[in-house]
Amino acid sequence: MSTLSSKPLHGKTAFVTGASRGIGRAIALRLARDGAHVAINYGASRDEAEAVAAEIRTLGVKSVAIGADLGSVASIAQAYVELDAFLLDATGRPGLDILVNNAGVAVVATPADTTEAQFDRLFDVNVKGVFFAIQQAAPRLNEGGRIVNISSLSTRVATAGLAAYAASKGALETLTLQLAPEFAARGITVNNVSPGAIETVMNTFLQEDAGRTAILQSQAIQRVGQPEDIADAVAFVASHEGRWLTGTTLDASGGSHL
């Protein structure tokens, strides 16, 4: 059985956005199991987020759920005010060790049918929200900290109806590349983890036989990905063992479209 001192993130602090369910929830729980105190962000699902925070606390670490609209810079700034209070309560000192930018929105629509409002919302949350979350985190991040952005397989595999979404994730990957050297002098790494098709409530097509079959036919590993698969990849990048990775994208797709 592991002791607290043997946990790789013991005493560390983390902030995971979009963590009320799915991949974000799995990431938050995995970091907590590794010993980190974890603040989670939610958009509208307050009850679900509070339940995740309560589950994290049963693991012997501290947690709080912080609501914020990540498409709004003012809302992001307010979330960090609440995060500061949590960090002081959790460790007695300011400073954040791990930021995971998981929150995102998706729109399935052809280029002809994509509205300006849909396009703006995609870039507001998936790109602008990440940029300003990192801007707020920058003065708070401890030496040797970690920034992990959640991208998408859609940046390297064309999928009908995902042009605008894929463009937003492509921008995110470029942002990661550009920011890596900005933080390197402080030993802070900036990376992407790129999931393939993961079985969550949002991916309803995986609930149908045809959808599951299509995914399995495109993957080297013959099973449908789970949120925990991505959480484990993030935990590696966020750990000491991930210290030599920065400015890169870790493909966590089960060998999709090789």
Q: Which is nearest to 148 in space by CA: 31, 46, 62?
A: 31
- With residue 180 as reference, give the H or E element that holds it: helix 163-183
Distance CA 255, CA 113 (A): 31
End-to-end CA distance of the chain: 38
Distance CA 139, CA 87 (A): 14
- In our burial notation (b when 16+ CB lie closer than 10 A, e otherwise), range 135-156 reads ebbbebbbeebbbbbbbbbbbb
Catalytic residue, candidates 42, 80, 165, 183: 165
Asked if 80 is an active-site residue, the reply is no
Counting runs of H as helices and runs of E as strands, what totals does the chain give? 8, 7
The SS3 call for residue 227 is helix
Residue 128 DSSP class: I
Q: At which residue do the structure tokens 């970091």 appear?
A: 31
Catalytic residues: 165
